């Protein structure tokens, strides 16, 4: 059964945090997470990665229980015998998808999450849960010229994180092109528990 929480900015919202607490498989102080910062390439993007890391530590995840994923280091390609969940940070969605596929870890994430391993997405980490990420060109640059953009398909809809009224026209155009869209603001999350999908926050 899928156990997935997709966010725009992490677990800062009270309702989102409470949902997180309700779906983790063990006490937060015992939780082991694979932390994937791969989408962030710039100094500015890495600030958000550190914000996510510090947030996890602040809420009670032990620093020693956080494994940093490195696409080029297979020893960090953890499975369900080593970690209780996967936390995928934000940044450039196209670069993230490319590096996950290039490392061979993409299919492993797909398998683990479909088998029930906890998956937490932040921004780009949420976008890659759609069937394809090409729609996110309305928000994100495909500066690596990625051609094959099929993604994890944990949901059948396209996920728009950081939603505000300024994105309403982009969402309208996507829907008019027969693209099913779910929006999540910075204070919301999308919970996927098995086949039950609900918005939180």
90 φ, ψ (degrees, to nearest 5): -85, 180
Exactly one of 8, 52, 103, 123 is catalytic; which is it? 123
Side-chain half-sphere exposure of 173, counting CA atoms within 13 A: 8
Judged against a pLDDT cut of 90, whether residue 42 lies above it is answered with: no
CA distances from 132 to 28, 91, 154, 157, 165 (A): 32, 17, 11, 9, 24
Please report the pLDDT score of residue 66 as a whole number: 98
Judged against a pLDDT cut of 90, whether residue 48 lies above it is answered with: no
- The pLDDT confidence band at residue 81, using thresholds 50, 70 and 90, is very high
Judged against a pLDDT cut of 90, whether residue 41 lies above it is answered with: no
Please report the pLDDT score of residue 36 as a whole number: 97
Q: Where are the domains of the chain?
A: 3-200
Residue with tokens 């995840």: 61
Judged against a pLDDT cut of 90, whether residue 117 lies above it is answered with: yes
Judged against a pLDDT cut of 90, whether residue 44 lies above it is answered with: no
Cβ neighbours around 165 below 10 Å, total: 6
- Percent pLDDT > 70 in the chain is 100
Judged against a pLDDT cut of 90, whether residue 110 lies above it is answered with: yes
177 φ, ψ (degrees, to nearest 5): -90, 20
Exactly one of 80, 162, 185, 187 is catalytic; which is it? 162
Instruction: Please give the Cα distance from 182 to 171 (Å, whole number).
Output: 9
Judged against a pLDDT cut of 90, whether residue 39 lies above it is answered with: no
Cβ neighbours around 146 below 10 Å, total: 16
Domain 3-200 has CATH 3.40.50.880: yes
Please report the pLDDT score of residue 148 as a whole number: 96
> Mean per-residue pLDDT for 77-100?
96
- The pLDDT confidence band at residue 150, using thresholds 50, 70 and 90, is very high
Q: Which residues pair with 119 in a beta bridge?
A: 4, 86
Judged against a pLDDT cut of 90, whether residue 15 lies above it is answered with: yes
> Is 52 labeled as catalytic in the residue annotation?
no
The per-residue pLDDT for range 121-139, each reduced to its tens digit, is 999 999 999 999 999 999 9
> Mean per-residue pLDDT for 16-43?
94
Name all contacts of 66-73 with Cβ < 8 Å and 24+ positions apart: 66/32, 66/33, 66/35, 67/32, 67/33, 67/34, 67/35, 68/35, 68/37, 69/34, 69/35, 69/36, 69/37, 69/38, 69/105, 71/38, 71/99, 71/100, 71/102, 71/103, 71/105, 72/103
Please report the pLDDT score of residue 129 as a whole number: 98
- The pLDDT confidence band at residue 174, using thresholds 50, 70 and 90, is very high
- Percent pLDDT > 90 in the chain is 93
Instruction: Please give the Cα distance from 79 to 39 (Å, whole number).
Output: 20
> Is 162 labeled as catalytic in the residue annotation?
yes
């Amino acid at each position: 059964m899928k156990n997935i929480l997709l966010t725009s900015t992490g677990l800062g919202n009270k309702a989102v945090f409470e949902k997180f607490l309700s779906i983790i498989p063990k006490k937060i102080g015992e939780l082991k997470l694979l932390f994937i910062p791969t989408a962030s390439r710039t100094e500015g993007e890495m600030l958000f990665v550190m914000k996510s890391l510090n947030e996890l530590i602040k809420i009670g995840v032990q620093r020693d229980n956080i494994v940093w994923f490195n696409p080029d280091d297979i020893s960090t390609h953890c499975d369900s015998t080593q970690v209780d969940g996967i936390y995928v940070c934000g940044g450039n969605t196209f670069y993230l998808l490319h590096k996950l596929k290039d490392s061979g870890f993409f299919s492993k994430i797909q398998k683990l999450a479909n088998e029930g391993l906890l998956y937490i997405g932040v921004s780009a980490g949420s976008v890659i849960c759609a069937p394809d990420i090409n729609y996110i060109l309305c928000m994100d640059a495909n500066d690596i010229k990625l051609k094959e953009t099929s993604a994890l398909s944990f949901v059948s809809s396209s996920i728009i994180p950081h939603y505000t009224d300024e994105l309403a026209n982009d969402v309208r155009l996507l829907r008019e092109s027969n693209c099913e869209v779910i929006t999540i603001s910075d204070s919301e999350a999308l919970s996927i528990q098995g086949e039950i999908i609900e918005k939180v926050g």
